[in-house]
Amino acid sequence: MPRDISFYRRLPKAELHCHLDGSLRPETMLALAAKDGVHLPFHDVPALKKAVRAGEIRTSLEDYLSAFTLTLSVLQTAPAIERAAFELVEDCAAENVVRLEARFSPLLHQTHKLALEAITEAALAGLKRGAEKTGVSVGLILCGIRNLSPDSSLAVAKIAAKYKARGVCGFDLAGPEVGYAASLHADAFAAARDGGVQITVHAGEAEGAWSVAEAMDALQAKRVGHGTHLIDDDALLVRAKEYGLALEVCLSSNLETQSVQSIAEHPFARFLRAGVRATLNTDNRLMSDTDLSAEYQRAAEIFRLSDEELRRVCLNGIDAAFVDKETRTALRASTERALAAAM
């Protein structure tokens, strides 16, 4: 008997891979454009969704990334960034996300020459206001961009370290993967690690398994974003499991960027059943017109996940979160209680 979406909404979930600039509410995007005098090529929610939806019209990661030009155009002031971050926490709380790690690159919010510090502070303020209202545990991941200069990534990594005590929990590298090796940004990763900031990297999404190996070996990543093509290398899969690498899997997004040809062909369940720490995430709620409950439902139905496997996905999210020991212990205990009540 397939379960109703309300079951998946009740599950205590961790959202570890969610882009602030890809997860705006459509209504907010229109409101921010009107307020800040930004021209958008649409005036209502259906037209907006059509313009930014990843769906059938996009055929690659590069193509998918082009939609961000529109969302970023309304996120160029501190109040706009604060609002987007706050509303993302509200949206997560409404579907029982217990830990949210939102990510964005301050480098992409400098149209009006805002300082990287001011941009980071705005996102942190919105997350904090959301956490205070909802009780969701929050963290912020700052992203360097693969096809921007290594110096710009290093600047972001230094900001990540500077704001660690104020809620930045991770450093990531996003953007087009093909032709832009993460190791070019090795100095940025080293600066983040030296500052006690945890590492995740978008890897193995558009590129092969070697990109996941690079994330583990050269950058000492604790997690990778997607990691889809890890499935192509059996020996590396075993090594990733032993290393304790967590995979931030985003099913709908992977279909839309054509990292996989269908969700049924996605290696998520094979990762999970091989004992790799696989988690489920949305990537971009607006572009993929999804939320985390829908991603869980999709996975459960397509891969016929058992209750034990669903439990494991929820707990993997907590175990992979970039939190201190005390927070993890508390989150694990409350998540186990909530799982016992839900299943």
User: Which sequence positions are flagged as catalytic?
Assistant: 205
Task: Name the minimum Å distance from CB 251 to Zn ion.
Answer: 13
Residue whose entry in the numeric block shows the structure tokens 């991770």: 170
Q: Is 248 in the site for Zn ion (CB under 5 A)?
A: no
What the block records as the tokens of 84 is 């987007």
Task: For residue 267, give every residue at least 6 positions away whose Cβ sits within 8 Å of its Cβ, in sequence order, or none.
Answer: 228, 230, 231, 260
Q: Which stretch binds Zn ion (CB under 5 A): 37-45, 221-229, 269-277, 315-323?
A: 221-229
Nearer to Zn ion, 20 or 48 (CB): 20
CA 91/CA 104 separation, integer angstroms: 17
Which one-letter amino acid corresponds to residue 82? Answer: E
* Closest-CA residue to 81 (of 118, 135, 49): 118
- Comparing CA positions, the residue from 322, 323, 309, 317 lying closest to residue 335 is 317
Of 12 and 225, the one with the shorter C-beta distance to Zn ion is 225
**Both tokens assigned to 87:** 């509303």
Q: Does 256 bind Zn ion (CB under 5 A)?
A: no
Shortest approach of Zn ion to residue 33 CB, angstroms?
Answer: 24
Show contacts with Zn ion in window 267-286 (CB under 5 A): 283
The amino acid sitting at 25 is: R
Cα end-to-end span (Å), the chain: 14
Tell me: does residue 91 bind Zn ion (CB under 5 A): no
Under rule CB under 5 A, residue 295 binds Zn ion: no
Of the two residues 287 and 315, which places its CB atom closer to Zn ion in the complex? 287
Query: For 102, phi and psi rounded to 5 degrees?
Result: -85, 150
Residue span 28-67 as binding mask against Zn ion, x where in contact by CB under 5 A, dash where not: ----------------------------------------
* Shortest separation between residue 299's beta carbon and Zn ion, angstroms: 17
> For residues 125 and 161, what is the distance between their CA atoms, to the nearest angstrom?
17
- In the block, residue with structure tokens 């054509």: 258
From 1-9, 189-197, 223-231, 298-306, give the range in contact with Zn ion by CB under 5 A: 223-231
Q: Based on CB atoms, which residue is closest to Zn ion, 283 or 319?
A: 283
Q: Closest residue to Zn ion, Cβ-based?
A: 283
Total interface residues for Zn ion by CB under 5 A: 2
> 226 - beta bridge partners?
203
Q: Which is nearer to Zn ion, 144 or 225 (CB)?
A: 225
Instruction: By CB under 5 A, name the binding residues for Zn ion.
Output: 225, 283
